[in-house]
Structure 1
Amino acid sequence: MTESPSTTKKAPSRIQQRNRTLILDAALEVFSSQGYRGATLDQIAKQAGLSKPNILYYFNGKQEIHVTLLNQLMTVWLDPLKEMNPNGDPIKELIGYVHRKLDMAIELPRESRLFANEILQGAPRMGPHLSAGLKPLFDKQIIVITRWMESGKIARSDPAHLLFSIWATTQHYADFAAQTEVLLPDRQAREDGARAFLDQLFTKLLTP
């Protein structure tokens, strides 16, 4: 049955789209620095340059904003692992994955900290995504890495902990940015050094 004009949902206007984007970007800044518990709607409104009632016009509250950000983030978070080609050169594929994760840490530090804060709290809002999105992909790529190891294309190790190590060593540059920036103030040297070191580390680990 064709919907009548009165029941058809209107597409958001440019102003509405702009305001939603402003709110989500402001919320990302606040959540990534304050955590979910420390963040308030007043802080998000101030960061966005909008009033609190204006925020509540677009979202029901802090939790809906946070869940919206996490939903958007999960797609971005899974993409680098999806890009690992089971038919490619194993070392190149895994080093390429390291590069993609490091690039994300450098280019999307707020998103990384948002994710880390959620996990540290026990993933109360992201738990379903971890089970339905990350777990099947993780299991699939573990099978791929295991086959590479069994065929002698890369050195044997624990494939799950290999991925955990990649996550830990790359996301460190986002989640602990305040520390690394003090210890290594030159940004370009810090990023180049990270890439070179991780290349050396994982190439030696993976080479049979």
Structure 2
Amino acid sequence: MAQTPAKQTGKKTSRIQQRNRGRILDAALNVFSRHGYRGATLDQIADEAGLSKPNILYYFEGKEDIHVTLLNQLMETWLDPLDHMDPDGDPLNEILAYVRRKVEMTRDYPRESRLFANEVLQGAPRMGPHLEAGLKPLFAEKTALIQRWIDDGKLAPIDPRHLLFSIWATTQHYADFDAQVQVLMGDQADILNDADGHLEMMFKKVLTP
């Protein structure tokens, strides 16, 4: 008979259980970011984590449970840079700071970026509720803020929705297409520093009234 995880019995998890759970999630993040949800298997996650498959199933119900757990953890981190756009700040500085934060996320969370991209490319079957409940209202709030700045003459006229799409596309490219970037630019440690400067210059030119 399969063991019941502490999270389902209501008992406090031990340090070993917390550590193993963390190992599984970190291993799964590697596997999902490389192979996507459909290409990933529990065997691959177990091998990556250095644990047996039954051990994996002690902590999680299956592959989907692990994937959803990772997505749940990701969303707060993913929304945080946009949430920090300050309505009382200087409009141009606020947007350029957002671009910098997104580049920093590409540097610090490349696996998470690919996990997110793979999920969306599949139609967001497991993240759909998060996009509706978390991202959509925040997106509406911030695009309305940017439109207000434009109407006040503080930014050049531009569709705020497509502006955010462009920021996401240009910043996340460096994580989602890292293999291509490395082939084309070589193994340069300062690629993201160069990208940061380039994107800041580009968006500054587009947005300056």
Q: Do these two structures clear the TM 0.5 threshold for a shared fold by scoring above it? A: yes
Partner in structure 1 of residue 32 of structure 2: 31
Instruction: Tell me, in whole angstroms, the C-alpha distance in 2 between the residues paired with 1:54 and 1:46.
Output: 11
Instruction: Tell me, in whole angstroms, the C-alpha distance in 2 between the residues paired with 1:65 and 1:189.
Output: 34
Q: SS at the partner of 1:60?
A: coil
Are residues 1:177 and 2:178 paired?
Answer: yes
Partner in structure 2 of residue 193 of structure 1: 194
For 1:194, the aligned partner's letter is A
**Normalised TM-score (structure 2):** 0.94
**Residue 193 of structure 1, CA deviation:** 1.4
For 1:52, the aligned partner's letter is K
**Residue 28 of structure 1, CA deviation:** 0.2
Instruction: Tell me, in whole angstroms, the C-alpha distance in 1 between the residues paired with 2:145 and 2:188.
Output: 35
For 1:113, the aligned partner's letter is R
Instruction: Tell me, in whole angstroms, the C-alpha distance in 2 between the residues paired with 1:189 and 1:58.
Output: 39
Instruction: Tell me, in whole angstroms, the C-alpha distance in 1 between the residues paired with 2:196 and 2:59.
Output: 41
Q: 1:96-150: per-residue Cα shift (whole Å, max 9, x none)?
A: 0000011101111000000000000000000000000000000000110000000
Are residues 1:117 and 2:118 paired?
Answer: yes
Are residues 1:101 and 2:68 paired?
Answer: no
Give runs of ≥4 in structure 1 deviating > 4 Å.
Answer: none
**Residue 188 of structure 1, CA deviation:** 2.8
**Residue 186 of structure 1, CA deviation:** 3.9
Q: 1:76-105: per-residue Cα shift (whole Å, max 9, x none)?
A: 000000000010000100000000011101
Instruction: Tell me, in whole angstroms, the C-alpha distance in 2 between the residues paired with 1:105 and 1:192.
Output: 11
Q: 1:169-192: per-residue Cα shift (whole Å, max 9, x none)?
A: 000000000010111124333122
**Residue 9 of structure 1, CA deviation:** 2.2
Are residues 1:10 and 2:42 paired?
Answer: no
Partner in structure 2 of residue 42 of structure 1: 43
Are residues 1:77 and 2:78 paired?
Answer: yes
Q: SS at the partner of 2:189?
A: helix
Q: SS at the partner of 1:188?
A: coil
Partner in structure 2 of residue 130 of structure 1: 131
User: Any unmatched runs of 5+ in structure 2?
Assistant: 1-8
Map 1:137-148 to 2 at 5 A: 137-148=138-149
Identity value in percent = 67
**Residue 196 of structure 1, CA deviation:** 1.1
Q: 1:10-67: per-residue Cα shift (whole Å, max 9, x none)?
A: 2110000000000000000000000000000000000000000000000000000000
Instruction: Tell me, in whole angstroms, the C-alpha distance in 2 between the residues paired with 1:181 and 1:60.
Output: 37
